[in-house]
Amino acid sequence: MRYLHTMVRVKDLDAALDFYCAKLGLMEVRRVDNPAGRFTLVFLCAPDDLDAARAGAAPMVELTYNYDPEDYQGGRNFGHLAYEVDDIYAACARLHEGGVTINRPPRDGRMAFVRSPEGISIELLQKGGAKPPAEPWASMPNVGTW
């Protein structure tokens, strides 16, 4: 058995791609447009997994956009996606500068949480050991839920 992907339904594909790709830094691997089925699937991966994902050997996130509007609720009951990052402070700064709320700042230099436009929790974990605590993160409070 091997892990293939996690599917997340999105209401606004452009907003989702802006969050996952432009802000979080994931890469689009492939897209399936199915007008007859009234949906589009977009498969994303972490940059370090791009070659393996293209070969079908790395886990991905599948964004599912259904053409007919639906009200998706309860993103929190999904749990969360987790990504290892080279520099947790740089990743959070990039997201913050892009207008993303850092729900659980990386006060410990190791872990942070943000949410997608659909309310899916995204955990960011520092690669290797934790970084030394640093401002503005060390004194930043939690915001909302994560």
Catalytic residue, chosen from 28, 97, 123, 135, is 123
With 0-12 CB in 10 A as exposed, 13-18 as middle and 19+ as buried, what is 37?
exposed
* Distance in angstroms (rounded) separating the CA atoms of residues 139 and 8: 32
For the CA atoms of 90, 144, 44, 2, what is the dihedral angle to 10 degrees? 110
Q: Give, for 94, the enclosing helix (H) or strand (E).
A: helix 88-97
Instruction: Round to whole Å and give the CA distance between 91 and 105.
Output: 11
Respond yes or no: is residue 123 known to be catalytic.
yes
Query: Could you list the active site residues?
Result: 123
